[in-house]
Chains A and B, each alone.
Chain A
């Protein structure tokens, strides 16, 4: 309990708990601990800290194991390109692609519906996975405040008149761009979940068919059984993703107050 003992403290005792000492050295420390309640306390405190840290470890989602294996499999396959072009079917596919490219260059399509829009792909995936919220909150103002400074762009969390309650927000990425996923629950059913994906997407075309709702250009599309309604506000794209009927989605969008 002397001043000297205090100095010996932390880093030394931490190193002891961290398992940095040889058995002999540890024996000496143990002998000291038996006599010094202050050091013994410090050791127990550090042990409880370490245990709390270990408890905070996460495990990888199960499908991710398969993703990694698949990635390795692909990487390990040395002749993946060479072989692909030895197969007659591949040549046919390549020829068809070249033909399609020519047709497209000649103006075969008025808008690029065939480009898999990552906004939809990623948005639906994010909605379907229902990952935990970074910031659970039912107060749009505090959630918006939380988001500020974490995103490169400003956001407005809309208020929905239809009784959709804010659950919270999480940060994510869409196509390597920062995004926020806002989760709402609806009164109908047992709290059906609606996700609002907010992303600064420079892609000029929003996916789907355009509709005019409440002075807003809204684009409707469907993917993997979900309905998606997207619109822009201050250049930022807002995409509402849910398993609601198109009618209900439109009603919800109509009730959205962006201020």
Chain B
């Protein structure tokens, strides 16, 4: 009975620290697994694992980062094999199109901050563009741009050097923005001409590398 009370108190403590992050974990889980069902399974798994290892959690340190480390590890070990990557097929067909990325050239259409291309985007297009990223890029983009973790935190979550985080983040964002541009043109948010203004031809080398990466992913 004493033991039960102890576990119950631990559970309450765990809940008070962890449940605040449920939305964040679910949102990330959804973009990792790409469907609600798997996202719920993944997050449920994450909570149970975290609770089992709660004694390993150093009180006073970053709970959100700790939970995300468990989430990403669980995903990589268990779900990644199950959730078939859908980027390869769709990506290959799109590769035939223009290789254009958003640049920092100021353009007429973006002179007014209100008119910034990204401001007009539909969240559905953003989601589809994230979902199309190969997993290694997607992970970093989710952690940095959906969850606003620092580079150092991401490096700790993914167990990789900060430099790797930065280069993956940079390339992931470029790929994502390319997809977004295409969606924006397709859905009429952006006219083809504006897209051309925003776009810049990617150097051959980089395009090849991206293709290479997609093939491996």
A69 to B90, CA, bound (A): 38
> Shortest distance in angstroms between B17's beta carbon and chain A's nearest beta carbon?
12
Complex contact A77–B4 (CB within 8 A): yes
Interface assignment of A107: CB less than 8 Å from any CB of chain B:
no
Complex contact A56–B104 (CB within 8 A): no
User: With A9-B104, A172-B37 as given contacts, are A60 and B22 in contact (CB-CB < 8 Å)?
Assistant: yes
Interface assignment of B213: CB less than 8 Å from any CB of chain A:
no
Nearest B residue (CB) for A42: B104
Interface assignment of A57: CB less than 8 Å from any CB of chain B:
yes
Nearest B residue (CB) for A76: B11
Complex contact B104–A41 (CB within 8 A): yes
Complex contact B27–A57 (CB within 8 A): yes
Complex contact B104–A38 (CB within 8 A): yes
Cβ of B19: which chain A residues have Cβ within 8 Å of it? 65, 68-69
Interface assignment of B96: CB less than 8 Å from any CB of chain A:
no
> Shortest distance in angstroms between A87's beta carbon and chain B's nearest beta carbon?
16
> Shortest distance in angstroms between B165's beta carbon and chain A's nearest beta carbon?
11
Query: B96-130 toward A: CB 8 Å interface, digit per residue (1/0)?
Result: 00000010111000100100111101010011001
Interface assignment of B10: CB less than 8 Å from any CB of chain A:
yes
Interface residues of A in 20-70 (CB under 8 A from B): 20, 37-39, 41-42, 44-45, 48-61, 64-65, 67-69
- Mostly, the A contact residues are helix
Interface assignment of B26: CB less than 8 Å from any CB of chain A:
yes
Complex contact A45–B110 (CB within 8 A): yes
Complex contact A52–B121 (CB within 8 A): yes
Complex contact A68–B36 (CB within 8 A): no
Interface assignment of A75: CB less than 8 Å from any CB of chain B:
yes
Interface assignment of B164: CB less than 8 Å from any CB of chain A:
no
Interface assignment of A72: CB less than 8 Å from any CB of chain B:
yes
Complex contact B177–A49 (CB within 8 A): yes
Complex contact B10–A19 (CB within 8 A): no
Complex contact B38–A71 (CB within 8 A): no
From B44-52, B56-64, B69-77, B202-210, give the one contacting chain A. Answer: B44-52
Complex contact B36–A48 (CB within 8 A): no
Query: B168-186 toward A: CB 8 Å interface, digit per residue (1/0)?
Result: 0110010001000000000
A53 to B31, CA, bound (A): 12
Interface assignment of A88: CB less than 8 Å from any CB of chain B:
no
> Shortest distance in angstroms between A85's beta carbon and chain B's nearest beta carbon?
16
User: With A55-B123, A71-B48 as given contacts, are A79 and B106 in contact (CB-CB < 8 Å)?
Assistant: no
Interface assignment of A109: CB less than 8 Å from any CB of chain B:
no
Category for how many chain B residues contact A: 35 or more
Cβ of A149: which chain B residues have Cβ within 8 Å of it? 86, 89-90
Interface assignment of B187: CB less than 8 Å from any CB of chain A:
no
Complex contact B11–A55 (CB within 8 A): no
Cβ of A67: which chain B residues have Cβ within 8 Å of it? 40, 44
Nearest B residue (CB) for A67: B44
Interface assignment of A105: CB less than 8 Å from any CB of chain B:
no
Complex contact A72–B146 (CB within 8 A): no
Complex contact A171–B170 (CB within 8 A): no
From A10-18, A157-165, A186-194, A247-255, give the one contacting chain B. Answer: A10-18
User: With A11-B166, A37-B106 as given contacts, are A60 and B146 in contact (CB-CB < 8 Å)?
Assistant: no
Nearest A residue (CB) for B14: A72
Partner-A contacts on B (CB < 8 A): 3-4, 7-8, 10-11, 14-15, 19, 22-24, 26-27, 30, 34-38, 40, 43-44, 47-48, 51-52, 82, 84, 86, 89-90, 102, 104-106, 110, 113, 116-119, 121, 123, 126-127, 130, 141, 144-146, 148, 150-151, 166, 169-170, 173, 177
Q: Can you list 29 A-B pairs with a CB-CB distance of less than 8 A?
A: A14-B169, A15-B166, A19-B150, A38-B104, A45-B102, A48-B119, A51-B119, A52-B119, A52-B121, A53-B146, A54-B145, A57-B24, A57-B27, A58-B23, A61-B36, A64-B26, A64-B40, A64-B43, A67-B44, A68-B19, A68-B44, A71-B44, A71-B47, A72-B11, A72-B15, A75-B48, A78-B3, A134-B35, A178-B84
